[in-house]
Amino acid sequence: MPELPEVETVVRDLRVLLCGRSVVAVNAGRRKLRQPWKNAWIPRVIGRQIDGVRRRGKWIVVELDDQSHLLIHLGMTGQLTVRATSEPREPHTHVVFDLDDGSCQLRFRDVRRFGSVRYFPAEFDIDYCLNKQLGPEPWELEPENWHVGWRQSRRCLKAILLDQTIVAGIGNIYADEALHAARLSPRQTGRATSLAQAERIRLAIVEVLERAIAARGTSISDYIGGSGLRGHFQGQLQVYGRAALPCVRCGSAIVVVRLAGRSTHYCPTCQRTAAKSRPRRNRRALPQHK
């Protein structure tokens, strides 16, 4: 599934290609997406100019000139690109927006159809929809509050990072990479994590995401940017997808386990789970029984 760096790359590509253009036609396929596109939205979108493109978590928000919005999620295999109208449509292209004189199109393609394209008539509606299910962006995490919400949690760190209500945009790849950068085990629980360790995680998240964005994200299977170019952060991955290969830091073999319902890659040496403290044994002499 495209995560924050991939979605941010799509947004940056599309911002250049879409802003100032107008929608002149919309065509939707018959096969339903996870949240179906409604043809009743078409008259509301036609004639509208695109004023902006932004990201919130893993969502893409297209701002129209009447304060309405398109909300797009790429799901697992979604692609959102601008193509010349003369270019043949690829299979599994579900929603197409003709732009300006019709010479180019914004196309939403999704092989597995877990993605969606939705219309929201007002900014308040879309902000409410997103903010009720998403926590802060990684760059907005406040050090003094970051640890508060989960310091008593029995959940493992991998599960905490995947929770979109705690931090928006992190998925399986970057949770693994951030924990490796922070030298913390994905098995470690929130309640066992100190303030200093939590701060290491926060800084690692930002550092890993910024490197991934600079590399246009990770292209492992279907992901491409809004201009059709692939990402190349896969060449910089330290643990994800490297099971049995040597850790780049210490040489130990990377292991993969199942945590929070997801495959989880980590180094058992660099990211050793802290040993549980054992209760002290009573050293007083026991009474002798006769």
pLDDT at 282 over 70: no
Cβ neighbours of residue 263 under 8 Å, at least 6 residues apart?
172, 256, 257
- Residue that is written with structure tokens 């159809």 in the block: 113
pLDDT score of 275 more than 90 = no
- DSSP 8-state symbol, 10: H
- Give CA–CA dist 79/2, Å, rounded: 9
CB atoms within 10 A of CB 146: 19
Protein fold of 138-266 = Helicase, Ruva Protein; domain 3 (1.10.8)
Please give the angle made by the CA atoms of 96, 15 and 176, to the nearest 5 degrees.
95
pTM of the model: 0.91
β-bridge mates for residue 55, sequence order: 60
Helix (H) or strand (E) holding 59: strand 59-64
The answer to whether 57 and 27 have CB atoms below 8 angstroms apart is no
Any bridge partners for residue 255, and if so which? Answer: 266
Side by side, the strands of the sheet bearing 69-73 are 50-56, 59-64, 69-73, 116-120
Catalytic sites, residue numbers: 2-3, 58, 262
Give residue 244's pLDDT.
97
Length of the chain: 290
pLDDT for 287 beyond 60: no
Tens-digit pLDDT profile for residues 208-241: 999 999 999 999 888 999 989 999 999 999 999 9
Q: What is the mean pLDDT of the chain?
A: 93
- Asked whether residue 274 carries a pLDDT value surpassing 90, the answer given is no
Q: Could you tell me where in the chain the CATH 1.10.8.50 domains are found?
A: 138-266
**DSSP three-state, residue 51:** strand
Give φ, ψ of 233 to 5 degrees.
-75, -15
CB-based contacts of 71, cutoff 8 Å, min separation 6 = 59, 60, 61, 62, 116, 117, 118, 119, 120, 126, 129, 130
Q: What are 253's strand-pairing partners?
A: 246
User: Taking a C-beta distance cutoff of 8 angstroms, is the pair 20, 49 a contact?
Assistant: yes
End-to-end CA distance of the chain: 70
The whole-number average pLDDT for the span 87-100 is 97
Specify the CATH number of the domain 4-131.
Answer: 3.20.190.10
d(CA 230, CA 218): 8
- Give the separation between CA 161 and CA 169, rounded to whole angstroms: 9
Q: Where in the chain is the domain with CATH 3.20.190.10?
A: 4-131
Task: Please give the pLDDT value at position 273.
Answer: 78
Helix/strand/coil percent split, the chain, to 5: 30, 25, 50
Which single residue is written with the structure tokens 């905490």? Answer: 160
The percent of residues in the chain predicted with pLDDT above 70, rounded, is 94
